[in-house]
Amino acid sequence: MGNSASPLGQPEKPGDFFMHLSYHRRMKPDRDAVARRAGVSSATVSRVFNNPDSVSPERRSRVLAAARALGYRPNKYASALARSGSGQILFLDGNKLAAHDRPNAAFYASMYRQSLLAVLEVLQDSPYHLVIDGECSGVQGAEYEGIIVYDADTPEQIEALSAPGLPLVFGHHLRGLPGGRAWGYGVDNEAGGFLAARKLLDLGHRRIAYITGGLSEISSHRDRLRGFYSAMEQAPPDATPGLFPGNPGNQALPDPRKTQCSLLEVEVGPRGGRQAARDLRSRIQRGQITALGVVNDVTAFGLVQELLTLGIRIPRDVSVIAFDNLPILDLLPLRLATLDLCLAEVYRKAGQGLRDRIRRTVPGGSEPDGPGRGAADLIRPVYIPGDSLAPPASGGGRDE
């Protein structure tokens, strides 16, 4: 095979091809480039990323727009040195995917991912790195400038966070939230339970059962049940659909004997859901139960599978609503009505709240918005429509 010709018409020697390549190393945009584009000083650019409250909104907007246009990212390590800080925020998950509800851990991975990505998005243009750890014990305050706690359920997890003076934000589950230096951003599970019951009541259902589990261990399950009962307790048998009052707020758990709601406790997860379907089969077929509220999608997944296997039609024979809006629902032959916990919003607020509280310690920083120390900012779940809800059949039973 002959030599190929060069661009100048001369035969090329092996390796000559690379002589014609010109390598252009793209220089990363620096703070000065952003300053020139935004028409401000380099010091102003620095303040925008390290202490934005000290810069006017108009200038801050110009700097951030210039940074985005140039693809500029602040040097987080240099920023930490300038502040005499570590530049690190700890995302403490307590090994949730391994320890919490172990048999169903894989189903909840999407919730963890959603929460983590929301925090990363908030910190992307900040001077802070996110460090992920699963152990509550041994946290040293000097290592971090703040901590975001993912889904803390137990007092032991909370007590282990003893780093003095460290800004601390809890997300997701907030029972036992400590005062002083802690804030919380969570899900209003009680409001979610109330909303789930109202969806059934507004359709005309009165013969309703609620399926739950883990009540002694999982605070969110107790809150959902409390909200569900509250709605049921306020609904007389002849009440007109759509006219039920709002959630009365935190109260002691209503006595199920005073409601029109049957309660069934099972193992949380698909296996427990299948068992619930078998336990309730005859009552559904006789029209004694026309609607089911389920504590979460994982349990509802097994419930729906088994009900369909048993020949019970959803929603013609029984309506079903659950919680969490997990991807597993896509595997069912019908779309289950559920409640989305809005975890991306919860952890976006948690990340913003912690970032702002850290910045508050900088001279000139202002008090951030959000809940006070030891308080919680609760976000209400959002109803996700599905094919699993319908008014009860006439007579409450099956049409034979």
Q: Find the CATH number of the domain harbouring 122.
A: 3.40.50.2300
Q: Specify whether 109 is located in the same domain as 148.
A: yes
Question: Domain for residue 4, yes or no?
Answer: no
Flag whether pLDDT at 381 surpasses 90. yes
Q: Specify whether 253 is located in the same domain as 370.
A: no
Q: Give the count of beta carbons closer than 10 Å to the beta carbon of residue 56.
A: 9
pLDDT at position 165:
63
Give the DSSP letter string of 315-346.
Answer: TTT-EEE-SS--GGGGGSSSPPBEEE--HHHH
At residue 136, what is the residue type?
Answer: C
pLDDT at position 198:
96
pLDDT tens digits, one per residue of 95-115: 664 455 667 777 888 898 999
Q: Specify whether 248 is located in the same domain as 392.
A: yes
Q: Do 128 and 88 contact (CB within 8 A), yes or no?
A: yes
Closest CA to 371 of 226, 168, 219: 168
pLDDT at position 183:
75
Domain span holding position 264: 189-341+383-396
Q: Is the pTM of this model over 0.75?
A: no
Q: Specify whether 334 is located in the same domain as 361.
A: no
Q: Specify whether 110 is located in the same domain as 176.
A: yes
Number of domains in the chain: 2
Q: Give the count of beta carbons closer than 10 Å to the beta carbon of residue 196.
A: 26
